[in-house]
Structure 1
Amino acid sequence: MSQTAMEDVANLPIRPVAMADLLTLLALYQHLNAEDPVLELGLAESRLAEILAHPGMTILAAFDGDKAVSSVTLTVIPNLTRGGAPYALIENVVTHADYRRRGLAGTVIRKAFAIAWERNCYKVMLLTGSKNPATLRFYANCGFKQDKTGFQVRRTSAT
Protein backbone atom coordinates (compact mmCIF):
# COMPACT_ATOMS: atom_id res chain seq x y z
CA MET A 1 0.00 0.00 0.00
CA SER A 2 1.30 3.46 -0.81
CA GLN A 3 2.20 5.86 1.99
CA THR A 4 -0.77 8.06 1.00
CA ALA A 5 -3.24 5.21 1.45
CA MET A 6 -1.74 4.21 4.78
CA GLU A 7 -2.06 7.77 6.06
CA ASP A 8 -5.56 8.64 4.88
CA VAL A 9 -7.54 6.20 2.76
CA ALA A 10 -10.67 8.28 3.31
CA ASN A 11 -9.27 10.83 0.85
CA LEU A 12 -8.64 8.37 -1.96
CA PRO A 13 -10.53 9.41 -5.10
CA ILE A 14 -13.77 7.54 -5.80
CA ARG A 15 -15.06 7.55 -9.36
CA PRO A 16 -16.92 5.41 -11.86
CA VAL A 17 -14.65 2.89 -13.53
CA ALA A 18 -13.77 3.20 -17.20
CA MET A 19 -12.60 0.62 -19.73
CA ALA A 20 -8.99 1.52 -18.93
CA ASP A 21 -9.59 0.25 -15.35
CA LEU A 22 -10.52 -3.29 -16.42
CA LEU A 23 -7.32 -5.08 -15.35
CA THR A 24 -7.16 -3.44 -11.93
CA LEU A 25 -10.87 -4.10 -11.39
CA LEU A 26 -10.44 -7.77 -12.27
CA ALA A 27 -7.51 -7.97 -9.83
CA LEU A 28 -9.67 -6.39 -7.12
CA TYR A 29 -12.50 -8.86 -7.75
CA GLN A 30 -10.11 -11.69 -6.86
CA HIS A 31 -10.48 -10.37 -3.29
CA LEU A 32 -14.26 -10.87 -3.51
CA ASN A 33 -14.45 -14.45 -4.77
CA ALA A 34 -10.98 -15.94 -5.05
CA GLU A 35 -12.45 -19.21 -6.36
CA ASP A 36 -14.14 -17.53 -9.33
CA PRO A 37 -12.72 -18.55 -12.69
CA VAL A 38 -10.54 -15.91 -14.32
CA LEU A 39 -12.41 -14.33 -17.21
CA GLU A 40 -10.81 -14.48 -20.64
CA LEU A 41 -9.75 -10.91 -21.45
CA GLY A 42 -11.98 -10.57 -24.51
CA LEU A 43 -15.05 -11.67 -22.55
CA ALA A 44 -14.12 -9.34 -19.67
CA GLU A 45 -13.80 -6.42 -22.09
CA SER A 46 -17.17 -7.25 -23.62
CA ARG A 47 -18.88 -7.51 -20.22
CA LEU A 48 -17.41 -4.23 -18.96
CA ALA A 49 -18.46 -2.50 -22.19
CA GLU A 50 -22.02 -3.78 -21.58
CA ILE A 51 -21.95 -2.51 -18.01
CA LEU A 52 -20.62 0.90 -19.02
CA ALA A 53 -23.32 1.23 -21.69
CA HIS A 54 -26.16 -0.01 -19.46
CA PRO A 55 -28.39 2.87 -18.35
CA GLY A 56 -28.41 3.24 -14.58
CA MET A 57 -25.48 0.91 -13.95
CA THR A 58 -22.24 2.18 -12.42
CA ILE A 59 -19.22 0.51 -10.89
CA LEU A 60 -17.71 2.92 -8.38
CA ALA A 61 -14.16 2.38 -7.18
CA ALA A 62 -11.71 3.99 -4.82
CA PHE A 63 -8.27 4.29 -6.37
CA ASP A 64 -4.81 4.38 -4.84
CA GLY A 65 -3.00 5.79 -7.86
CA ASP A 66 -4.09 3.57 -10.75
CA LYS A 67 -4.99 0.66 -8.47
CA ALA A 68 -8.67 -0.03 -7.70
CA VAL A 69 -8.77 -0.86 -3.98
CA SER A 70 -12.47 -0.87 -3.11
CA SER A 71 -15.60 -0.95 -5.24
CA VAL A 72 -19.35 -1.45 -5.44
CA THR A 73 -21.70 -1.94 -8.34
CA LEU A 74 -24.74 0.35 -8.23
CA THR A 75 -27.77 -0.28 -10.43
CA VAL A 76 -30.63 2.23 -10.53
CA ILE A 77 -33.84 0.55 -11.69
CA PRO A 78 -36.83 2.45 -13.16
CA ASN A 79 -40.12 1.81 -11.37
CA LEU A 80 -43.87 2.29 -11.80
CA THR A 81 -44.71 2.25 -8.08
CA ARG A 82 -43.79 4.76 -5.38
CA GLY A 83 -44.85 7.60 -7.65
CA GLY A 84 -42.43 6.42 -10.31
CA ALA A 85 -39.41 6.74 -8.00
CA PRO A 86 -36.64 4.32 -9.00
CA TYR A 87 -34.89 2.02 -6.57
CA ALA A 88 -31.28 0.90 -6.47
CA LEU A 89 -29.35 -2.27 -5.87
CA ILE A 90 -25.78 -2.51 -4.59
CA GLU A 91 -23.78 -5.62 -5.45
CA ASN A 92 -20.15 -6.79 -5.55
CA VAL A 93 -18.93 -4.87 -2.49
CA VAL A 94 -15.21 -5.59 -2.20
CA THR A 95 -12.07 -4.08 -0.71
CA HIS A 96 -8.54 -5.25 -1.44
CA ALA A 97 -7.27 -7.29 1.54
CA ASP A 98 -4.40 -4.82 2.15
CA TYR A 99 -6.87 -1.91 2.47
CA ARG A 100 -9.53 -3.40 4.75
CA ARG A 101 -10.67 -2.02 8.11
CA ARG A 102 -9.88 1.56 7.13
CA GLY A 103 -13.38 2.76 6.17
CA LEU A 104 -13.00 2.50 2.40
CA ALA A 105 -15.96 0.24 1.66
CA GLY A 106 -18.23 2.41 3.79
CA THR A 107 -17.02 5.51 1.96
CA VAL A 108 -17.68 3.91 -1.43
CA ILE A 109 -21.12 2.73 -0.30
CA ARG A 110 -21.98 6.25 0.92
CA LYS A 111 -20.94 7.59 -2.50
CA ALA A 112 -23.31 5.04 -4.09
CA PHE A 113 -26.08 6.23 -1.73
CA ALA A 114 -25.44 9.84 -2.80
CA ILE A 115 -25.80 8.89 -6.47
CA ALA A 116 -28.99 6.91 -5.74
CA TRP A 117 -30.50 9.87 -3.84
CA GLU A 118 -29.49 12.27 -6.65
CA ARG A 119 -31.41 10.00 -9.04
CA ASN A 120 -34.45 10.16 -6.72
CA CYS A 121 -34.32 6.51 -5.65
CA TYR A 122 -36.63 5.79 -2.76
CA LYS A 123 -34.50 2.90 -1.46
CA VAL A 124 -31.20 1.13 -1.92
CA MET A 125 -31.07 -2.64 -1.43
CA LEU A 126 -28.19 -5.02 -0.84
CA LEU A 127 -28.11 -8.78 -0.44
CA THR A 128 -25.24 -10.60 1.20
CA GLY A 129 -24.57 -14.28 1.53
CA SER A 130 -22.33 -13.63 4.51
CA LYS A 131 -23.36 -14.87 7.93
CA ASN A 132 -20.31 -13.27 9.54
CA PRO A 133 -21.55 -11.00 12.36
CA ALA A 134 -18.83 -8.43 11.58
CA THR A 135 -19.97 -8.19 7.94
CA LEU A 136 -23.61 -7.86 8.97
CA ARG A 137 -22.65 -5.20 11.54
CA PHE A 138 -20.69 -3.36 8.84
CA TYR A 139 -23.74 -3.17 6.57
CA ALA A 140 -25.94 -2.07 9.48
CA ASN A 141 -23.39 0.65 10.32
CA CYS A 142 -23.63 1.82 6.69
CA GLY A 143 -27.34 2.39 7.26
CA PHE A 144 -28.86 -0.81 5.88
CA LYS A 145 -31.77 -2.28 7.85
CA GLN A 146 -32.29 -6.01 7.98
CA ASP A 147 -36.09 -5.77 7.83
CA LYS A 148 -37.03 -7.68 4.67
CA THR A 149 -36.56 -11.27 3.61
CA GLY A 150 -34.49 -11.91 0.51
CA PHE A 151 -34.89 -14.86 -1.85
CA GLN A 152 -32.89 -15.94 -4.86
CA VAL A 153 -32.89 -18.63 -7.49
CA ARG A 154 -29.64 -19.68 -9.11
CA ARG A 155 -29.39 -21.45 -12.40
CA THR A 156 -27.96 -24.92 -12.04
CA SER A 157 -25.25 -26.08 -14.41
CA ALA A 158 -27.68 -28.68 -15.81
CA THR A 159 -30.14 -26.00 -16.90
Structure 2
Amino acid sequence: MPSACSVRPLIPADCDAALTLYTDLTFGPPADNPAAFLRVIAHPGTTIFGAFSGGTAVAMVTLHLLPNVTWNARPYGLIENVVTHHQHQRRGYGRAVLTAAIDAAWAADAYKVMLMTGQKRGAKGFYESVGFSSEDKHAMVIRRT
Protein backbone atom coordinates (compact mmCIF):
# COMPACT_ATOMS: atom_id res chain seq x y z
CA MET A 1 0.00 0.00 0.00
CA PRO A 2 1.32 3.47 -0.80
CA SER A 3 2.77 5.13 2.30
CA ALA A 4 0.37 8.09 2.27
CA CYS A 5 -2.67 5.86 1.68
CA SER A 6 -5.49 5.00 4.03
CA VAL A 7 -8.30 2.57 3.23
CA ARG A 8 -11.71 2.59 4.87
CA PRO A 9 -15.37 1.86 4.12
CA LEU A 10 -17.08 4.77 2.42
CA ILE A 11 -19.80 6.67 4.29
CA PRO A 12 -22.59 9.01 3.11
CA ALA A 13 -20.25 12.02 3.36
CA ASP A 14 -18.06 10.38 0.67
CA CYS A 15 -20.86 10.48 -1.92
CA ASP A 16 -19.44 13.24 -4.14
CA ALA A 17 -15.98 11.65 -4.18
CA ALA A 18 -17.46 8.26 -5.07
CA LEU A 19 -19.55 9.71 -7.89
CA THR A 20 -16.41 11.35 -9.29
CA LEU A 21 -14.59 8.00 -9.24
CA TYR A 22 -17.53 6.25 -10.93
CA THR A 23 -17.09 8.72 -13.79
CA ASP A 24 -13.59 7.29 -14.37
CA LEU A 25 -15.06 3.77 -14.36
CA THR A 26 -18.00 3.81 -16.70
CA PHE A 27 -18.27 4.10 -20.45
CA GLY A 28 -22.03 4.58 -20.17
CA PRO A 29 -24.13 7.37 -18.73
CA PRO A 30 -22.51 9.36 -15.91
CA ALA A 31 -23.00 8.09 -12.37
CA ASP A 32 -24.61 11.18 -10.91
CA ASN A 33 -27.21 9.66 -8.61
CA PRO A 34 -26.43 10.31 -4.93
CA ALA A 35 -29.52 8.36 -3.84
CA ALA A 36 -28.20 5.25 -5.63
CA PHE A 37 -24.84 5.53 -3.86
CA LEU A 38 -26.59 5.86 -0.48
CA ARG A 39 -28.75 2.78 -1.23
CA VAL A 40 -25.68 0.72 -2.08
CA ILE A 41 -23.74 1.58 1.09
CA ALA A 42 -26.86 0.98 3.20
CA HIS A 43 -27.45 -2.47 1.67
CA PRO A 44 -26.77 -5.29 4.17
CA GLY A 45 -23.61 -7.19 3.30
CA THR A 46 -22.31 -4.49 0.96
CA THR A 47 -19.27 -2.33 1.62
CA ILE A 48 -17.53 0.13 -0.66
CA PHE A 49 -13.89 0.47 0.34
CA GLY A 50 -12.09 3.66 -0.59
CA ALA A 51 -8.39 4.50 -0.74
CA PHE A 52 -7.50 8.05 0.25
CA SER A 53 -4.40 10.06 -0.50
CA GLY A 54 -4.09 13.43 1.19
CA GLY A 55 -7.76 13.24 2.17
CA THR A 56 -8.90 12.66 -1.42
CA ALA A 57 -10.59 9.46 -2.53
CA VAL A 58 -8.43 8.02 -5.32
CA ALA A 59 -9.69 4.42 -5.62
CA MET A 60 -12.62 2.28 -4.55
CA VAL A 61 -14.13 -1.17 -4.82
CA THR A 62 -17.53 -2.61 -3.92
CA LEU A 63 -17.76 -5.90 -2.02
CA HIS A 64 -21.07 -7.75 -1.80
CA LEU A 65 -21.12 -10.60 0.72
CA LEU A 66 -23.94 -12.94 -0.21
CA PRO A 67 -25.56 -15.70 1.85
CA ASN A 68 -25.20 -19.22 0.56
CA VAL A 69 -26.55 -22.74 1.12
CA THR A 70 -23.58 -24.79 -0.11
CA TRP A 71 -20.06 -24.84 1.31
CA ASN A 72 -21.39 -25.23 4.87
CA ALA A 73 -23.56 -22.13 4.38
CA ARG A 74 -20.50 -19.92 4.13
CA PRO A 75 -21.05 -16.68 2.19
CA TYR A 76 -19.30 -15.75 -1.00
CA GLY A 77 -17.98 -12.38 -2.08
CA LEU A 78 -18.68 -10.54 -5.28
CA ILE A 79 -16.36 -7.69 -6.26
CA GLU A 80 -17.74 -4.95 -8.46
CA ASN A 81 -16.78 -1.46 -9.65
CA VAL A 82 -13.03 -1.49 -9.06
CA VAL A 83 -11.76 1.93 -10.05
CA THR A 84 -8.69 4.10 -9.52
CA HIS A 85 -8.73 7.73 -10.59
CA HIS A 86 -6.79 7.97 -13.85
CA GLN A 87 -4.22 10.36 -12.32
CA HIS A 88 -3.44 7.88 -9.51
CA GLN A 89 -3.19 4.60 -11.41
CA ARG A 90 -0.21 2.26 -11.09
CA ARG A 91 0.64 3.48 -7.60
CA GLY A 92 -0.90 0.68 -5.52
CA TYR A 93 -4.24 2.27 -4.63
CA GLY A 94 -6.31 -0.24 -6.59
CA ARG A 95 -4.42 -3.10 -4.98
CA ALA A 96 -4.98 -1.53 -1.55
CA VAL A 97 -8.78 -1.37 -1.89
CA LEU A 98 -8.98 -4.79 -3.52
CA THR A 99 -6.90 -6.32 -0.73
CA ALA A 100 -9.13 -4.66 1.88
CA ALA A 101 -12.22 -6.14 0.23
CA ILE A 102 -10.69 -9.62 0.01
CA ASP A 103 -9.55 -9.43 3.65
CA ALA A 104 -13.08 -8.43 4.69
CA ALA A 105 -14.52 -11.39 2.76
CA TRP A 106 -12.11 -13.81 4.44
CA ALA A 107 -12.92 -12.26 7.85
CA ALA A 108 -16.60 -12.99 7.12
CA ASP A 109 -15.62 -16.63 6.40
CA ALA A 110 -16.45 -16.35 2.69
CA TYR A 111 -15.39 -19.45 0.82
CA LYS A 112 -14.61 -17.56 -2.41
CA VAL A 113 -14.47 -14.09 -3.92
CA MET A 114 -15.46 -13.55 -7.54
CA LEU A 115 -15.15 -10.71 -10.00
CA MET A 116 -15.50 -10.06 -13.69
CA THR A 117 -13.50 -7.60 -15.71
CA GLY A 118 -14.23 -6.18 -19.11
CA GLN A 119 -12.06 -7.45 -21.93
CA LYS A 120 -11.49 -3.90 -23.19
CA ARG A 121 -10.06 -2.64 -19.89
CA GLY A 122 -6.86 -4.69 -19.96
CA ALA A 123 -7.00 -5.29 -16.20
CA LYS A 124 -6.80 -9.10 -16.26
CA GLY A 125 -3.08 -9.10 -15.43
CA PHE A 126 -3.69 -6.80 -12.47
CA TYR A 127 -6.33 -9.13 -11.02
CA GLU A 128 -4.11 -12.15 -11.60
CA SER A 129 -1.27 -10.40 -9.73
CA VAL A 130 -3.60 -10.08 -6.71
CA GLY A 131 -4.41 -13.81 -6.86
CA PHE A 132 -7.51 -14.14 -9.04
CA SER A 133 -7.58 -16.89 -11.64
CA SER A 134 -9.72 -17.71 -14.65
CA GLU A 135 -8.44 -21.28 -14.91
CA ASP A 136 -11.49 -23.12 -13.55
CA LYS A 137 -14.42 -20.76 -14.21
CA HIS A 138 -15.91 -18.89 -17.14
CA ALA A 139 -17.84 -15.69 -16.57
CA MET A 140 -20.97 -15.07 -18.60
CA VAL A 141 -23.27 -12.07 -18.75
CA ILE A 142 -26.76 -11.41 -20.01
CA ARG A 143 -27.83 -7.79 -20.25
CA ARG A 144 -31.31 -6.43 -20.51
CA THR A 145 -31.81 -4.59 -23.80
Aligned residue among 116, 119, 137 for 2:125: 137
Code of the aligned partner of 1:81: T
Structure 1 counterpart of 2:96: 107
Please give the alpha-carbon distance, in whole angstroms, between the structure 2 residues aligned to 1:142 and 1:24.
25
Please give the alpha-carbon distance, in whole angstroms, between the structure 1 residues aligned to 2:105 and 2:24.
25
Please give the alpha-carbon distance, in whole angstroms, between the structure 2 residues aligned to 1:85 and 1:53.
22
Say whether 1:97 aligns with 2:93: no
Kindly indicate which of the two structures has a greater share of residues assigned to helix: 1
Give the count of matched residue pairs.
Answer: 144
Aligned residue among 8, 19, 23 for 1:26: 19
The structure with the larger Rg is: 1
**Contiguous gaps of at least 5 residues in structure 1:** 1-7
Structure 2 counterpart of 1:36: 29
Q: TM-score, normalised by structure 1?
A: 0.84
Structure 1 counterpart of 2:42: 53
Give per-residue Cα distances to partners, 1:113-146, cap 9 Å, x unaligned.
110000000000000112455x211110010011
Q: TM-score, normalised by structure 2?
A: 0.91
Question: Displacement, 1:10?
Answer: 4.3
Structure 1 counterpart of 2:72: 83
Alignment check: 8 A CA contact 1:10 1:103 kept: no
* Identical amino acids, percent of aligned pairs: 41
Code of the aligned partner of 1:105: G
Code of the aligned partner of 1:114: D
Q: What is the RMSD computed on CA atoms of the aligned residues? A: 1.6
Runs (4+) of structure 1 moved beyond 3 Å? Answer: none
Give per-residue Cα distances to partners, 1:48-84, cap 9 Å, x unaligned.
2211221110100001233210000000000000000
